[in-house]
Amino acid sequence: MDIAQSVIKIQEVILELKAVQHYLGYPDEMANAIEVIESIDEERIRLWNEVRDLKASLTVEKAALDWHEGEPPRPWRDEWFIAKTIRGDRVVLRSLPEDWTYDYTTADETYIMAKNIRCWMQFPDSQFNPYVSA
């Protein structure tokens, strides 16, 4: 049952309860039951909308998290980024000055050459705009 069908079903139940309330004359008990069902339905719709919005925002964030072949160009290499190595490992790297023998370092000061980077992606909170391959 999808969301539209469940909304219709709950509205039908509420109408039936209101009819029973009117027919049998139990105004207080039925009114309370109807209020509870309506509040549950409103909360369910609110939560469904939040989930829908969250899914949409995750889709946008996921689009920004693309893998790019090779090593990152400047300025993306100057901040921390995620890389997959030619051995399949994932590491977090940042570039070293150009006069160094190695090209990148990790937070624990392990060094790596650019030729060992298969692909890379920037962090979602990067200070730079998302990288777009030329």
- Exposed / middle / buried, residue 24 (Cβ in 10 Å: 0-12, 13-18, 19+): exposed
Q: What is the pLDDT of residues 101-112, one digit of tens each?
A: 999 999 888 999
Q: Which amino acid is at 22?
A: H
Radius of gyration of the chain (CA): 28
* Cis status of the peptide bond prior to 27, with omega within 30 of 0: no
- Tell me the average pLDDT across 100-128: 90
Name the residue ranges covered by the structural domains of the chain.
3-64, 68-122
In degrees and rounded to multiples of 5, residue 113 shows phi and psi of -90, 150
- What pLDDT score was predicted for residue 66? 82
Q: Which amino acid is at 78?
A: D
Q: Is 79 left (phi over 0), alpha (psi -120 to 50) or beta?
A: beta
Global confidence as pTM? 0.52
- What pLDDT score was predicted for residue 11? 76
**Number of residues that make up the chain:** 134
